[in-house]
Amino acid sequence: MKLLIIKIETSHEVEDALNIFSNEVLHCLGTETRKRSDFEHAGWKSDSTMIKLDEINDLPEDLQFLAYFDSDQDKEKLIEEYKQKLSELKSYGLKIGKAEISTSYIKDEDWNTVWQKFYHPIDFSRHLAIVPEWEEYQPAFKDQRLIKLDPGLAFGTGSHETTQLALIGLEQTLIRPQKVCDVGTGSGILAIASSFLGASSVLATDISDEAITAARENISLNDLTNIKLKKTSLLDNVQGKYDIIVANILAEILLDLIPQLNNHLNEGGQVIFSGIDCSQAAKIKKALSENGFQVVLSMQSGRWIGLIIERKDN
Ligand SMILES: C[S@@+](CC[C@H](N)C(=O)[O-])C[C@H]1O[C@@H](n2cnc3c(N)ncnc32)[C@H](O)[C@@H]1O
């Protein structure tokens, strides 16, 4: 089986937007971003047999963005979608560079080994490190927990700012053995982190089959038995209440989640939101307030906002 690769030579300013657009709007199989420093780190030479990367030294822009799709997807339509997205981003004042789009095909068995070269352990905090399944890592502290991950086709390698804001939120809020619900689990990274940080039990939901498959494999890779998975949209058909609800999803989707929170949050419970572009934060805060919630902590990394939220009457 072959995969279609759409490659965009562009600027790092649009990295996050293209990543989210590809994953959540175009439902690609996976994305990769390559910067000059990554190429050096990966030690790739122009004679690599995997993919001809001999154009690396001649890159006109500072970022190569790659998105992977099934080879039967409509290539021209996808290119058109990217062109429209890039011109929209440009209209927001973001630098998009030449934004040259090209396409190629790769055997899908080669894909895993290609992107693995760009994924390395993340020494995230005193409590957590995120370690690709195939890497060796020695924790600096004996009790630092290692989240072993093979994100497969799902979002959630731990390197994205939105995931990291959600992890900071979990470290801040999960201070007792509480019940956690992870909405939009992707690779399962936040559910696994919650379990390692002491959650009594975790329910993780996602709308995508690929995410559920990847999360199931990662939960088992980490030998965790207190995480349940459910394929559903947001909290639809979810029973019960939780002490912490965490969701790292685009703002447009969080707006649909907000009216569901009250029915699923225990008294004194807290909600962690991430994935909010700074231009959307006011809209989210307004919707939270209209639904009886208030922001108790606001965090920012680059363009991304993360929030810790409680009921107004807590
Ligand atoms: C940005 S990724 C976050 C993955 C992971 N939780 C993390 O923090 O890295 C968003 C995830 O939400 C899922 N998603 C999108 N819309 C959803 C919906 N309506 N209900 C549940 N999951 C959804 C996507 O499939 C994707 O796995």
pLDDT of residue 111: 57
Most informative mutation of 18, 23, 24 for ligand 1 (most atoms within 8 A of CB):
24
Which pair of structure tokens corresponds to residue 158? Answer: 């731990």
> Is residue 181 located within the same domain as residue 267?
yes
pLDDT of residue 140: 82
Q: How far is CA 167 from the centre of its chain?
A: 11
> Is residue 91 located within the same domain as residue 214?
no
Does residue 195 fall inside a structural domain? Answer: yes
> Is residue 143 located within the same domain as residue 108?
no
pLDDT of residue 50: 37
| Ligand 1 pocket check for 163: Cβ under 6 Å | yes
CB 250 within 8 A of CB 198: no
pLDDT of residue 277: 86
Query: What is the distance between the alpha carbons of residues 38 and 194, in angstroms, rounded to a whole number?
Result: 30
| Ligand 1 pocket check for 154: Cβ under 6 Å | yes
> Is residue 286 located within the same domain as residue 138?
yes
> Is residue 8 located within the same domain as residue 29?
yes
- For 108, the domain range is 2-116
pLDDT of residue 109: 60
pLDDT of residue 36: 56
> Is residue 100 located within the same domain as residue 158?
no
* Beta pairing, strands 242-248 & 293-301: unpaired
Residue 169: Cβ-neighbour burial (10 angstroms; 0-12, 13-18, 19+): buried
- The atom of ligand 1 lying closest to the CA of 211 is 27
Domain boundary among 60, 84, 116: 116
Q: Is the ipTM of this complex over 0.95?
A: yes
CATH code, 152:
3.40.50.150
Give 66 Cα–ligand 1 centroid separation in angstroms.
Answer: 20
- The atom of ligand 1 lying closest to the CA of 182 is 6
Give 199 Cα–ligand 1 centroid separation in angstroms.
Answer: 20
CATH code, 31:
3.30.70
- The atom of ligand 1 lying closest to the CA of 190 is 6
Domain count, the chain: 2
Sheet of strand 30-35, all strands in order from the earlier edge strand to the far edge:
30-35, 63-70, 2-10, 100-107
Mean pLDDT, each 10-residue run in order, the chain (314 residues): 86 86 85 64 38 40 82 91 94 88 78 61 93 86 90 69 94 96 95 98 93 93 97 96 96 95 97 92 97 96 92 88
> Is residue 27 located within the same domain as residue 83?
yes
Domain boundary among 116, 137, 167: 116
Query: What is the distance between the alpha carbons of residues 199 and 207, in angstroms, rounded to a whole number?
Result: 23
> Is residue 238 located within the same domain as residue 153?
yes
| Ligand 1 pocket check for 24: Cβ under 6 Å | yes
Give 249 Cα–ligand 1 centroid separation in angstroms.
Answer: 5
